[in-house]
A = this chain, B = another copy of it.
């Protein structure tokens, strides 16, 4: 009896992989697995595979299903999160108007909450990562795009229709670079991992000298990882591209400070593998651009600490809130 209803499942449903974790009430990770999404199989099969994976792993780890109190699931937006419905999702092409919370609840007999994946990761960092002991936090994931989440007064900020904190699409350069969303001058159009690499490619194609040119010729493309590797080797173009990325991220930090005044601004996602050279540059440009009228710039800019577990931890922590 003591084992009943004390654990939580967190699911991070991405376009490539589905990560699933089982966490205790104090958010200790009891087990985690990762399975390929195979989104092309369609939602019915994908959801069945999630259910089977949970049941099998619960059994194998000897932490029975009856100990699970609730389930949280994070997916890319846009979605009708509060209704538990994935409306459409570029990374999950066959998922159109899928009431995933309802289906999972029926199959597993537990309450299910659906959340934006960046919000879930943000909440994970807030509850057990770098956001412990603070009440206001802004969180960015730097990947293909720039995902974001806002914690205001201890809670995720949702807005009027569950789609607040689309901070990658805030405009930092009016009439600037075209973004995939159709706007001009979005932060994401410059500073996502994909657009960092893309700007390097464009510069080389326009004739800029760089050791990255060999990579482009060999692989047919440049990644943000390539940019940071060549930055470490002293390549001037890699430095210029990294500076531009950091400057845009610094302006995102300044605007976030002026909107919601967080104690911490946290960067996560693949691109933080660039490490200290990137973080130091963001802090440098933050100091260059921030207003001079206030001395008390107490916001801390830092990297996330939970890595790819943030999503499942956050989803489980949100399930615990219900």
Contacts and interface: CB of A to CB of B under 8 A. Distances in A.
Interface stretch (A28-36, A45-53, A259-267): A259-267
Copies of this protein chain in the complex: 2
Contact of A289 (B135, B153, B157, B171): B171
Interface in A273-321: 289-294, 296, 298
Nearest to A135: B160
A291 B259 contact: no
A150 B163 CA distance: 16
A157 B166 contact: no
Interface in A155-171: 157-161, 163-167, 169-171
Interface string A154-195: 000111110111110111111010010111100000000000
B169 A258 contact: yes
Contact of A255 (B153, B158, B159, B171): B171
A171 B252 CA distance: 9
Contacts of A291: 169, 179, 181-183
Q: Kindly state the interface size class of chain A when it binds its partner.
A: 35 or more
A125 interface: no
Given A153-B158, A159-B136, A294-B78, A259 B289 contact: no
A161 B248 contact: no
A247 interface: yes
A150 B170 CA distance: 17
A210 interface: no
A118 interface: no
Contacts of A135: 160
A211 interface: no
A152 interface: yes
B260 A159 contact: yes
A20 interface: no
A228 to B, nearest CB: 22
A247 to B, nearest CB: 7
19 contacts: A152-B157, A153-B158, A159-B261, A160-B261, A163-B294, A164-B258, A164-B259, A164-B260, A167-B258, A167-B259, A171-B172, A171-B289, A172-B172, A172-B174, A174-B248, A181-B292, A259-B259, A259-B260, A260-B260
Closest 7 CB pairs of A and B: A159-B261, A182-B292, A164-B261, A181-B291, A166-B258, A170-B255, A136-B160
